[in-house]
């Protein structure tokens, strides 16, 4: 911490210690209440009152009855979707971004606009138009859960684009490429041995944020009648809210872990470029 | 296609067709097709179905339904809910950002807050519904605490958690973290030189904030406020997970229209509702773009 307000460094006035911890403490406490309430809820022992760890032990030892098979299946579905969405991002978005950065600078603004567009189009609106599109897809390719990844590739666009673009902006792609080319490297070599290693932090960050978004997606899966982690949680919650809340808490922890990793990767990039 | 290669590394002078075949434009075609099929087409379909009746003939009947009191109340509730939670979220989030001035961006405090904010802002949805049922549901932690210890019944006038007012607290819960994520960069862009200049001229901390900080940050703050509004307005998961029948806000009305075929005796009402949502979002995002241009003046 930078100690006394405004003393350790000149510049934008820092808040006093009291103000800082007062604000962070109050907001932090308020935001902790629902989480604590969820934990308290999962520990309740039912009618006889008191608390027990029984349900957590059941979940953590995978000792759930067959009626929860839907949950395991849904987690599998969500993981498949996460992997397929990341693959889609790497195969379609990333090469396009590299081509535009290197050869088609006049398309940069267009690409940016298109990639950020899904922010302005609510998923609930998109799903109205996706329903007929998926009608066609089901007839052509079956109703396999992986087909949802095609829609998820769109909703992760803004996040993936920002992560990769900030990395592209931080390295001098053109100079790197020209240097490699004039030393006799072929295009595949340039991409595999020069560009991709330099883009690793951005690609990883984009992949992780995409995974987090896909694991949390509910709207599209629910309205296209496909099963993923979130839709299964809503179903399970109707029969056994305790189990649903426990799984929610666990997935929340996983998501925080993922984002901490993204943060660490992000700091890796800034350190390298500064 | 004159975009072959501005620096001339590709062979020039060969036949025009060769240049066309080797053109880097081909590199963006797969992505363009994908976006067209899965973003352009669904959006066009969503907006287009609003103008078509059950038999596929053109009609303005669905769009006229946007004036129906049921739909008007849905939009009013959605807009009020989004506005209230955006304002509360923006003020609280900005306060947290202020409290974080002077902390190290790489430090554990900031990394932790960044990660938690990211999760709460983006991962939320269904989880928030569970969290608030556990907190202020009929048997919720806070409900029971207030009832047994203080004798206060928060549901004395009926259970409001599953109606529109019940969405206010969960929505604030994802608005504040989003504000922290999008407003912090603006605060970090405040130049230390401005504070030094102000101090050199005899300005106090209050002068700095009042004369420099607030005016410079105002466009960013308002822009963030608009993004928060858009975020709440398009949010569906929390409300859907809280109530399986409710139709209080527009996204829930779209669900009802999609699942029940005929709402208000009209087919394809979902398309008209989607059109209404897009119009609101377009206005909000256009204002955002305007403010962004103003804000960027100070972020060079």
pLDDT above 60 for A120? yes
Note the pLDDT of residue A1: 41
Round to whole Å and give the CA distance between B258 and B267: 9
CB-CB under 8 Å, B141 with A37: yes
In this prediction, residue B242 carries a pLDDT of 86
On average, the pLDDT of chain B sits at: 83
Q: Please give the average per-residue pLDDT across A117-138, as a whole number.
A: 90
For residue B207, pLDDT beyond 90? no
A173: contact with B, CB 8 A cutoff:
no
* Residue ranges of A 71-130 with Cβ closer than 8 A to chain B: 92-93, 95-96, 99-100, 102-104, 106-107, 111, 114, 117-130
Candidates A28, A128, A149, A222, partner chain B, best to mutate (most B CBs within 10 A): A128
Q: Is A184 helix (H, G, I), strand (E, B) or coil?
A: coil
Q: Encoding tokens for residue A99?
A: 């081509």
User: Is position B27 within any domain?
Assistant: no
Phi, psi for B58 (deg, rounded to 5): -65, 140
Exposure of B145 by Cβ count < 10 A (0-12 exposed, 13-18 middle, 19+ buried)? middle
- The structural domain count of chain B equals 1
> Residue A125 and residue B277: Cβ atoms within 8 Å?
yes
**B194 neighbors B277 (Cβ within 8 angstroms):** no
Contact B266, B62 (CB under 8 A): yes
- A237: helix, coil or strand? helix
* Residue B3: pLDDT over 70: no
Mean pLDDT lowest among A107-121, B28-42, B94-108: B94-108
The reply to whether B41 falls in a domain is no
Residues 6+ apart with CB under 8 A from B126: A216, A218, A230, A233, A234, A248, B237, B238, B241
The residue range of the domain holding B196 is 72-239+246-296
Tens digit of pLDDT for each residue in A217-237?
999 999 998 889 899 888 888
Check if A166 contacts B (Cβ < 8 Å): no
**Nearest residue in chain B measured CA to CA from A248:** B127
Retrieve residue A261's tokens: 């990793």
Q: Which of A28-37, A68-77, B15-24 has the highest mean pLDDT?
A: A28-37
Residue B62 lies in a domain: no
Mention every residue, 6+ apart, whose C-beta is less than 8 A from residue B213: A12, B190
Query: Which range among A1-10, A216-225, A261-270 shows the weakest confidence by mean pLDDT?
Result: A1-10
Contact (CB<8Å) B258/A245: no
Q: Which residues, 6+ apart, have CB-to-CB distance to B207 below 8 Å?
A: B198
Distance from CA of A103 to the nearest CA of B (A): 7
Using the beta-carbon criterion (under 8 Å), do B43 and A37 form an inter-chain contact? Answer: no
State the smallest CA–CA distance between residue A168 and chain B in angstroms. Answer: 17
If 0-12 CB within 10 Å is exposed, 13-18 middle and 19+ buried, where does residue B79 land? middle
Residue B130 is nearest to which of A9, A38, A111, comparing CB atoms?
A38
- Distance from the B125 Cα atom to the nearest Cα atom in chain A, whole angstroms: 7
Which of these ranges, A45-54, A129-138, B247-256, B275-284, has the smallest mean pLDDT?
Answer: A45-54
Residue B90 predicted with pLDDT over 70: yes
- B158, part of any domain: yes
| CB B147 within 8 Å of CB B259 | no
Q: Can you name the residues that pair with B180 across neighbouring β-strands?
A: none
Identify whether the C-beta of residue B22 lies closer than 8 Å to the C-beta of residue B4: yes
**pLDDT above 50: residue B4:** no
Instruction: Look at residue B47 and tell me if it is in a domain.
Output: no
Average pLDDT of chain A? 84
- Nearest to B246, CA basis, from B255, B237, B259: B255
DSSP classification of residue A183? T
Q: Is the pLDDT of residue B10 over 50?
A: no
A24 touching B, CB under 8 A? yes
CATH classification of the domain holding B167: 1.10.3720.10
Name the packing angle between helices B250-260 and A123-141 (round to 10°): 30
Question: A20 pLDDT exceeds 50?
Answer: yes
Neighbouring CB atoms inside 10 A of A103's CB total 23
For testing contact with chain A, the best of B3, B99, B113, B238 (most A CBs within 10 A): B99
* Residues B124-143, mean pLDDT to the nearest whole number: 85
Whole-number pLDDT of residue B86: 96
**Residue B23 domain-assigned?**
no
């Amino acid at each position: 911490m930078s100690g006394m307000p405004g003393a350790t460094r000149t510049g934008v006035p820092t808040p006093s210690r009291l103000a800082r911890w007062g604000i962070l403490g109050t907001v932090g406490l308020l935001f902790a209440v629902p989480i604590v309430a969820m934990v308290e809820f999962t520990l309740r022992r039912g009618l006889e009152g008191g608390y027990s760890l029984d349900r957590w032990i059941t979940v953590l030892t995978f000792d759930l009855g067959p009626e929860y098979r839907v949950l395991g299946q849904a987690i599998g579905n969500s993981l498949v979707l996460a992997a397929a969405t990341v693959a889609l991002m790497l195969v379609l978005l990333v090469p396009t971004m590299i081509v535009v950065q290197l050869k088609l600078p006049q398309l940069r603004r267009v690409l940016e606009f298109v990639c950020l567009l899904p922010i302005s189009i609510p998923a609930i609106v998109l799903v109205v138009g996706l329903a007929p599109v998926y009608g066609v897809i089901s007839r052509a390719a079956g109703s396999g859960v992986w087909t949802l990844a095609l829609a998820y590739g769109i909703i992760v666009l803004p996040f993936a684009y920002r992560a990769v673009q900030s990395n592209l902006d931080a390295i001098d792609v053109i100079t790197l490429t020209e240097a490699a080319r004039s030393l006799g490297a072929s295009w595949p070599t340039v991409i595999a041995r020069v560009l991709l290693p330099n883009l690793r932090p951005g690609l990883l960050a984009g992949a992780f944020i995409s995974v987090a978004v896909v694991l949390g997606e509910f709207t599209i899966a629910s309205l296209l009648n496909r099963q993923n982690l979130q839709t299964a949680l809503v179903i399970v919650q109707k029969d056994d809210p305790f189990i649903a809340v426990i799984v929610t808490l666990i997935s929340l922890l996983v998501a925080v872990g993922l984002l901490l990793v993204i943060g660490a990767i992000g700091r890796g990039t800034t350190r390298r470029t500064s | 296609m004159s975009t072959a290669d501005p620096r001339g590394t590709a062979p020039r002078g060969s036949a025009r067709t060769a240049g066309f075949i080797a053109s880097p434009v081909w590199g963006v075609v797969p992505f363009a097709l994908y976006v067209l099929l899965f973003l352009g087409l669904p959006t066009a379909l969503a907006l287009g179905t609003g103008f078509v009746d059950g038999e596929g003939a053109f009609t303005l009947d669905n769009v006229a339904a946007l004036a129906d009191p049921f739909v008007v109340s849905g939009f009013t509730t959605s807009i009020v809910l989004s506005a209230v939670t955006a304002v509360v979220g923006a003020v609280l989030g900005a306060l947290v950002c202020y409290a974080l001035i002077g902390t190290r961006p790489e430090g554990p405090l900031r990394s932790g807050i960044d990660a938690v904010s990211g999760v709460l802002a983006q991962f939320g949805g269904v989880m928030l519904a569970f969290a608030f049922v556990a907190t202020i549901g009929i048997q919720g932690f806070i409900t029971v605490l207030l009832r047994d210890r203080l004798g206060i019944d928060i549901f004395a006038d009926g259970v409001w958690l599953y109606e529109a007012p019940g969405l206010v607290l969960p929505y604030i819960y994802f608005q504040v973290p989003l504000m922290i994520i999008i407003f912090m960069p603006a605060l970090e862009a405040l130049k230390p030189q401005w504070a030094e200049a102000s101090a050199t001229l005899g300005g106090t901390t209050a002068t700095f904030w009042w004369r420099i900080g607030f005016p410079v940050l105002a466009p960013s703050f308002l822009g963030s406020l608009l993004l928060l509004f858009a975020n709440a307005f398009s949010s569906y998961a929390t409300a859907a997970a809280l109530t399986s029948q409710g139709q209080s806000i527009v996204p829930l009305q779209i669900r009802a229209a999609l699942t029940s075929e005929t709402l208000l005796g009209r087919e394809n009402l979902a398309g008209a509702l989607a059109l209404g949502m897009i119009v609101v979002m377009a206005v909000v995002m256009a204002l955002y773009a305007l403010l962004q241009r103003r804000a960027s003046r100070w972020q060079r």
